[in-house]
Structure 1
């Protein structure tokens, strides 16, 4: 009967062999599971030829001994897994006592037979592991695999160019030789109740004195680093995955699969940047799980024996899965809609991705006024922390569905779920999230973004709103048309900009500098690029469009500058940590406006943050090497961008470095355009926007 498709990762993707009978001289009966064409298959066979031992017999030579009763094999054949390349070694002249046959495997011969990849020299491949399946060649020309103990501890022998030949058991319990860079093996993996993962194991002989453990996301370009201690050829790591320190506060590991690597500290692409493999003795204990405040964390394996950490969703277990989501949407939400509205305000910033933006400003204003309501804050995957003035509700949970149904007020800066319907007496405040310099919604017709993700929501979801806030006169008409909104538009200004006018803004700026560890005397450059729809992983996860060459900027600008890289909330990638302290990823910082307080200069491309930053009067630079593509094909603009932009348009990191070297000249050349830009787009920014919104909500 057909079984489910093989999982992409986890212990179920590579089930281990099972021995079910031992019949002495006749051999061992083994059951070997594997997947083929979507079916789980079982092979039952008696294995009589076994690995008896292996040892180094000379420099660059490995002796493999095989117990092979019956016809004496003539050779040992190694077949490359992937290309089918074959290299063979003859048997010894006489079988050893007990029917053992020996083979001398020459390391140089294996290295020379290694197939080239993409034209690279065969002896220096980019792959960290090349695997060779070992088979005995029998007198009649037939072949037979060499069985070995699945618990065989891998042992490495030196190869040229700093690699090693590892004798190990494959997933099916057959002898495999791995030609690989030296790699660590974890033989101790343990969860603590607080979600801390303890990992320890053996270091390869070539490991440097300073290493770090790195969790790499399986899809997105994101990684987390952790310190490592060494002890007589072993490494020890402590990974606080239940409460990771971040600029958003302590948060659990983001949802997804994360592979664990060991590398030289801060040296991306170093010879030792290898996956942490699991020693055979650990495999029987996997998967090993831990749940911290409802967030499931699992240690498992993929690609046979590589350590994998899987972080599940923060949504309660009872609320997960397509069927349960449908019940919540069609029954739970509907049930709560039949109940009286509660004096509750539900806030949502970028779909629960942060505690910030205009919903935060409105929340803090209502708290300051002492409005007698319950404050709820939508949080996605527990990736943001909420102050004591509000209570977090997990996006996708039953509580979140109920809050959408019975909250008297909802304050959001993006679209609400398509199935949400505003009730009588319910007031939905759509703050939006900036001045639309680039086209959005219906205005994307005729561009590469003219797909269902952008056009389908209107005007259905806009009918959910009671009021749409506009930051300025330019935006009022654009937002109404692009979002298909026929209701009330209030030109209040953008509440998120109030912090730029607050009486305590200098104190806030000092607190932000301390939080980010910004040293006095260094110019703070905030780089905030706009995501590109045509280089996204999917509609909810975008790549980081890094047009800036960070290494070149560091060499040219030196220690006098610090670069803060801020990705859009939809961007899943993160700037690697090895660029610090010159460049630091601040995408997790909950509120971009506080970053504007400390930035001496803003570098962006097409982001609406340019409008917000114009309130500071500080210089702006626009790094736009793809301007023709973005303007004419991808999205386009709601204004003459090149004529109105309040700073120079730069096409390379070199030009950016040159502009940063003479900001006074840049400011002077852009003064007229800057003043005009502020007059058109910032005329409603005065520090009172959140108050005007609160007045509307209190009526």
Structure 2
């Protein structure tokens, strides 16, 4: 890792010599991602709206990082491409942290961090051990006031640089017609789920992007067999682990690569852990179970931005047996779910995209 970082640093330092010949385009916005090689989530929504408005020149440097020899070589060339795209732009939009921005960005290039999650349950960014310090961000969007302080720490910005606009991709969750459309689509694709209670398992990843990732380890077959035919289980691994298959049971369906929002439309009970999707699911006012057999280890090694036992709006389980009993007993505190939703969603109007576009217009119109 040190050798790779040194090589990238030397090459980009050489590229810096060409900055004197590179003009900044005052009308250019560049989208940069290391998580997706196509437009998705907030990037897709914002890009489509900006294209409709037709006011700006848009560029995209999108790649899905793979921890392989070929992936590392590709990453080197992507960093070079990012360098020239970033330093000729007025505004750069990020959905993940970025080495080139942190180390090789011109001062007059503005950076807006559109973090890919609705919030942050687990610690990340500059709060945890990393290979480089995150810096040079100008703006970060947040879903609520609670995350302003965690984001200032994680992204190395001042509180006033964190803008509470809401997250564009959550807008869909407030539109009942779209939820019904998603439900119909799910029933058509998976007719076996209709008329049954649907349990969705959707965890975050463990590990680090550059060092290797793994999942939270759960025996879904055991849970399904214990619950019986009345229930059917779906699972969706984190996008960075979407090739991971954790069950071949006929009533445990792999939904990797599918939209989590579409899965929510048919979900009766969500099982998750430290993933920020629990924030999104709270909108539905449905039960959540938190399967965290590694809670003490995770809290020590990674850390949490929330008081987990106090804030989580559902039972905390350390084993599959506990999960099974909670589901069978069907006892959930809906008032706590509502309080959780209201705490972590400042806006519940489905208009966050408009607020982010307004912020972008303000940035592009400024000096």
TM-score by length of 1: 0.45
Q: CA–CA distance in 2 between the matches of 1:429 and 1:639? A: 24
Aligned to 2:36: 352
2:279 to 611, 635, 642: 611
The structure carrying a bigger strand percent of its residues is 1
Question: Once the 2 structures are TM-superposed, how far is the Cα of residue 580 of structure 1 from its aligned partner?
Answer: 4.7
User: Aligned pair 1:507/2:176, yes or no?
Assistant: no
Alpha-carbon contact 1:604-1:610 (below 8 Å) kept:
yes
Greater Cα radius of gyration, structure 1 or 2 = 1
Q: Higher RCO, 1 or 2 (CA under 8 Å, sep at least 6)?
A: 2
1:563 to 230, 233, 238: 233
1:483 to 134, 155, 164: 155
DSSP 3-state at the match of 2:47: helix
Question: Once the 2 structures are TM-superposed, how far is the Cα of residue 326 of structure 1 from its aligned partner?
Answer: 6.2
2:317 to 625, 650, 659: 650
Aligned to 1:582: 251
Question: Once the 2 structures are TM-superposed, how far is the Cα of residue 510 of structure 1 from its aligned partner?
Answer: 3.0
Counterparts in 2 of 1:439 and 1:406: CA distance versus 1, 3 Å: same
Alpha-carbon contact 2:34-2:65 (below 8 Å) kept:
no
User: Aligned pair 1:376/2:60, yes or no?
Assistant: yes
Q: CA–CA distance in 2 between the matches of 1:516 and 1:407? A: 44
Counterparts in 2 of 1:380 and 1:627: CA distance versus 1, 3 Å: closer
User: Aligned pair 1:593/2:261, yes or no?
Assistant: yes
Q: CA–CA distance in 2 between the matches of 1:412 and 1:694? A: 15
Counterparts in 2 of 1:508 and 1:327: CA distance versus 1, 3 Å: farther
What is the RMSD of the two structures over their aligned residues, measured on CA atoms?
3.3
User: Aligned pair 1:428/2:111, yes or no?
Assistant: yes
Counterparts in 2 of 1:326 and 1:483: CA distance versus 1, 3 Å: closer
User: Can you list the C-alpha shifts for 1:443-497, whole angstroms capped at 9, x where unaligned?
Assistant: 44xxxxxx344xx42xxx332x221111111101121123321361101112221
Question: Once the 2 structures are TM-superposed, how far is the Cα of residue 581 of structure 1 from its aligned partner?
Answer: 3.5
Question: Once the 2 structures are TM-superposed, how far is the Cα of residue 685 of structure 1 from its aligned partner?
Answer: 3.9
Counterparts in 2 of 1:532 and 1:618: CA distance versus 1, 3 Å: same
Aligned to 1:39: none
2:221 to 551, 554, 567: 551
Aligned to 2:290: 622
Structure 1: 5+ residue runs without aligned partners? 1-320, 383-393, 445-450
Counterparts in 2 of 1:442 and 1:426: CA distance versus 1, 3 Å: closer
Question: Once the 2 structures are TM-superposed, how far is the Cα of residue 353 of structure 1 from its aligned partner?
Answer: 5.7
Alpha-carbon contact 2:34-2:64 (below 8 Å) kept:
no
Question: Once the 2 structures are TM-superposed, how far is the Cα of residue 681 of structure 1 from its aligned partner?
Answer: 0.8
Question: Once the 2 structures are TM-superposed, how far is the Cα of residue 621 of structure 1 from its aligned partner?
Answer: 0.9
User: Aligned pair 1:638/2:312, yes or no?
Assistant: no
Aligned to 2:365: none
User: Aligned pair 1:408/2:90, yes or no?
Assistant: yes
Q: CA–CA distance in 2 between the matches of 1:338 and 1:594? A: 47
Q: CA–CA distance in 2 between the matches of 1:580 and 1:600? A: 20
Aligned to 1:541: 212
Structure 2: 5+ residue runs without aligned partners? 67-73, 363-367
Aligned to 2:339: 676
Q: CA–CA distance in 2 between the matches of 1:476 and 1:489? A: 6
Aligned to 2:142: 470
The structure carrying a bigger helix percent of its residues is 2
DSSP 3-state at the match of 2:309: helix
Aligned to 1:8: none
Q: CA–CA distance in 1 between the matches of 2:200 and 2:260? A: 10
Aligned to 2:353: 690
Q: CA–CA distance in 2 between the matches of 1:344 and 1:522? A: 50
User: Aligned pair 1:525/2:199, yes or no?
Assistant: yes
Alpha-carbon contact 2:83-2:104 (below 8 Å) kept:
no
Counterparts in 2 of 1:501 and 1:376: CA distance versus 1, 3 Å: same
Alpha-carbon contact 1:337-1:405 (below 8 Å) kept:
no
Counterparts in 2 of 1:440 and 1:333: CA distance versus 1, 3 Å: same
Alpha-carbon contact 2:235-2:252 (below 8 Å) kept:
yes
User: Can you list the C-alpha shifts for 1:337-372, whole angstroms capped at 9, x where unaligned?
Assistant: 742334443323454366433333322332444444
Aligned to 2:18: 335
| Number of equivalences | 346
Q: CA–CA distance in 2 between the matches of 1:572 and 1:635? A: 22
